[in-house]
Amino acid sequence: MSNMIRIMVVDDHDLYREVLTDFLERNGFKVTHSLKAGAGMEESLQPDDLPDIAIISFKTSKIGNMTHLRWLKNSFPSVRVLITTLFNDKIPMEELKQLGINGVIIKSNADTQQIMKALRLVQDGHSYYN
């Protein structure tokens, strides 16, 4: 049980966050944090209780996205990060890669097999960009 992959889910859409959390838990992952906004990460994350992977919704219209991602990667560089988004043509991909983001999942293109593949690849130290 201790080698169960620990996941943090951050998404402002309650239904998506709840469905993703349920899917992950049914497939052997442990969801340690389920947050509505990136601002909640600073209060929720503790060095002795970090997730292995953070799945964070990215909205190009929200300036705080990059601020929260920078904070996470600077504070806890060991946490791998997968971005989920609807806006694949507006993602600052190079900036995200330079920041150390491990992958991007386009919500409209992703099925459950792709999510599982992305999580396994990222956990094993690889990147995933669909």
79-109 tens-digit pLDDT: 999 999 887 667 788 888 899 999 999 888 8
Q: Considering the entire predicted model, what is its pTM?
A: 0.91
Residue (of 69, 82, 7) closest to 38 by Cα position: 69
Secondary structure letter of residue 78 according to DSSP: T
- What is the rounded CA–CA span in Å between residue 7 and residue 116? 12
Amino acid at 5: I
State residue 42's pLDDT score.
Answer: 87
Mean pLDDT in the chain? 89
Higher pLDDT, 87 or 112: 112
- What is the rounded CA–CA span in Å between residue 20 and residue 9? 8
Secondary structure letter of residue 70 according to DSSP: H
- What is the rounded CA–CA span in Å between residue 101 and residue 55? 10
